[in-house]
Structure 1
Amino acid sequence: MTDEVQDRFSELLVEPREDLDVEVKNWLDLKSDENAKANFAKAALALANNGGGIIIIGMTETDEGMVPSEGRPRSLEAYGVDHLNGIIHNYADPAFHCAVHLRSGPDGLLHPIVVIPGGHRVPVRSKRGGPNGQIVKDNSIYIRRPGPRSEVPQSAHDWDTLLARCLSHRRDEMFDQIRALISGAVPEASLETTPDRLTEWSEKSLERWLDLRDGLPVDAPERCPHGYMWYAFEFDGELRELPGAKFSEALRDSEVNLSGWPPFWYPTRFGIRPYPFEGLVECWIGGDNEEGFGNHGAGMADFWRVSPDGFGFFLRGYREDDLSGSRNMPAEPGTWIEVEWPVAITAEVLAYIESLASRLLSGSYSVRLLASYTGMEGRRLYSIGTRYIHHRISRQATISLGSAFDGAMLGPNSNELVHQFLQPFYNVFDFFDLPTSLVTEVMSALRQRKY
Structure 2
Amino acid sequence: MAKTTFERSDLTDLIDYPRETLDIELKDWIDLGDKVAQAKLARHIAALANHGGGYLVFGFRDDESVAPNRPTDLSGYSRDTFGRIVTRYLAPAFQCDVRLVQSSAGLIYPVVRVPSHGSTPIGSKADGPHDQKGQPQGIRAGTYYVRKPGPKSEAAIGIEDWQSLIRRCVLSDRDNLLADIARAVQPISEPPPPAIADRLKNWHDESDARWRTTLEKAAALRWLVDIGANHCQLSYLILSDTGIAIPANELQPVLEQVNRDVRKTVWTGWSMFYPFTRPEIAAALHPEFDDGSGVDVLESNLVGDGDFDTSLPDYWRYAVDGRATIIRPYREDRQRTFEAKGRPAGTWLSPETVIRETAELVTHARIVAERYGGSRVVFRCTWRGLAGREIDDFGDTYWSAGRHARADQRTTIGTWDVPVLAANWHEVVAQLSCPVLSLFGFSECGAGLVARLAPRFIKL
Question: Equivalents in 2 of 1:211, 1:226: separation in Å?
Answer: 14
Q: How many angstroms does 1:209 deviate by?
A: 0.7
2:400 pairs, out of 390, 394, 413, with 390
- Structure 2 residue 396 is the aligned partner of structure 1 residue 380: no
Q: How many angstroms does 1:216 deviate by?
A: 1.5
Q: How many angstroms does 1:21 deviate by?
A: 3.7
Q: Is the 8 A contact 1:280 1:307 kept in 2?
A: yes
Question: Which 5+ residue runs of structure 1 have no aligned equivalent?
Answer: none
Q: Is the 8 A contact 2:190 2:415 kept in 1?
A: yes
Give the match for residue 210 of structure 1.
212
CA 351–22 in structure 1, closer or farther in 2 if over 3 Å, else same:
farther
Give the match for residue 295 of structure 1.
307
- Structure 2 residue 299 is the aligned partner of structure 1 residue 283: yes
Query: Could you tell me which amino acid in structure 2 is paired with residue 430 of structure 1?
Result: G
- Structure 2 residue 243 is the aligned partner of structure 1 residue 239: yes
3-state secondary structure, aligned to 1:396: coil
Query: Could you tell me which amino acid in structure 1 is paired with residue 302 of structure 2?
Result: G
3-state secondary structure, aligned to 2:281: coil
Give the match for residue 139 of structure 1.
142
Q: Is the 8 A contact 2:270 2:311 kept in 1?
A: no
3-state secondary structure, aligned to 1:300: coil
CA 366–229 in structure 1, closer or farther in 2 if over 3 Å, else same:
same
1:153 pairs, out of 156, 168, 171, with 156
Q: How many angstroms does 1:34 deviate by?
A: 1.9
Q: How many angstroms does 1:411 deviate by?
A: 2.4
Question: Equivalents in 2 of 1:200, 1:420: separation in Å?
Answer: 22
Give the match for residue 108 of structure 2.
110
CA 373–15 in structure 1, closer or farther in 2 if over 3 Å, else same:
farther
3-state secondary structure, aligned to 1:369: strand
Q: How many angstroms does 1:76 deviate by?
A: 0.9
- Structure 2 residue 279 is the aligned partner of structure 1 residue 266: no
TM-score of the superposition, structure 1-length normalised?
0.83
Give the match for residue 379 of structure 2.
369
Once the two structures are superposed, the pairs formed by residues 402-421 of structure 1 within 5 Å of their partners are: 402-421=413-432
- Structure 2 residue 103 is the aligned partner of structure 1 residue 72: no
- Structure 2 residue 337 is the aligned partner of structure 1 residue 324: yes
Give the match for residue 292 of structure 2.
none
Give the match for residue 25 of structure 1.
27
Question: Equivalents in 1 of 2:181, 2:307: separation in Å?
Answer: 44
Q: Is the 8 A contact 1:78 1:84 kept in 2?
A: no
CA 364–79 in structure 1, closer or farther in 2 if over 3 Å, else same:
closer
- Structure 2 residue 365 is the aligned partner of structure 1 residue 353: yes
Q: How many angstroms does 1:205 deviate by?
A: 0.7
Give the match for residue 56 of structure 1.
57
- Structure 2 residue 440 is the aligned partner of structure 1 residue 429: yes
CA 78–253 in structure 1, closer or farther in 2 if over 3 Å, else same:
closer
Q: Matched residues, percent identical? A: 27
Cα-to-partner distance string for 1:297-348 (whole Å, 9 max, x where unaligned)? 5853221112334422211222232341455x35322233333223332232
Question: Equivalents in 2 of 1:157, 1:350: separation in Å?
Answer: 31
Q: Is the 8 A contact 1:176 1:440 kept in 2?
A: no
Q: How many angstroms does 1:183 deviate by?
A: 9.5
Query: Could you tell me which amino acid in structure 2 is paired with residue 111 of structure 1?
Result: Y
Q: How many angstroms does 1:295 deviate by?
A: 2.1
Q: How many angstroms does 1:208 deviate by?
A: 0.7
Give the match for residue 186 of structure 1.
187
Choose 413-422 or 185-194, whichever is displaced more. 185-194
Give the match for residue 345 of structure 2.
333
- Structure 2 residue 121 is the aligned partner of structure 1 residue 123: yes
Question: Equivalents in 2 of 1:249, 1:162: separation in Å?
Answer: 19
Query: Could you tell me which amino acid in structure 1 is paired with residue 362 of structure 2?
Result: L
Corresponding residue pairs, total: 434
3-state secondary structure, aligned to 2:57: strand
Question: Equivalents in 2 of 1:235, 1:171: separation in Å?
Answer: 21
Q: How many angstroms does 1:211 deviate by?
A: 0.7
Give the match for residue 220 of structure 1.
222
Q: How many angstroms does 1:397 deviate by?
A: 2.0
TM-score of the superposition, structure 2-length normalised?
0.81
- Structure 2 residue 304 is the aligned partner of structure 1 residue 304: no
Q: Is the 8 A contact 2:259 2:273 kept in 1?
A: yes
Choose 280-289 or 108-117, whichever is displaced more. 280-289
Query: Could you tell me which amino acid in structure 1 is paired with residue 337 of structure 2?
Result: S
Q: How many angstroms does 1:164 deviate by?
A: 4.3
Question: Equivalents in 1 of 2:423, 2:23: separation in Å?
Answer: 23
Question: Equivalents in 2 of 1:143, 1:368: separation in Å?
Answer: 36
3-state secondary structure, aligned to 1:78: coil
Q: How many angstroms does 1:72 deviate by?
A: 0.7
Choose 224-233 or 74-83, whichever is displaced more. 224-233
3-state secondary structure, aligned to 2:276: coil
Query: Could you tell me which amino acid in structure 2 is paired with residue 337 of structure 1?
Result: L
CA 374–21 in structure 1, closer or farther in 2 if over 3 Å, else same:
farther
Query: Could you tell me which amino acid in structure 1 is paired with residue 92 of structure 2?
Result: P
Cα-to-partner distance string for 1:99-158 (whole Å, 9 max, x where unaligned)? 322121244121112233346343232221222212211132223345543333333354
CA 116–250 in structure 1, closer or farther in 2 if over 3 Å, else same:
closer
3-state secondary structure, aligned to 2:400: coil
CA 219–272 in structure 1, closer or farther in 2 if over 3 Å, else same:
closer
Question: Equivalents in 2 of 1:340, 1:183: separation in Å?
Answer: 26
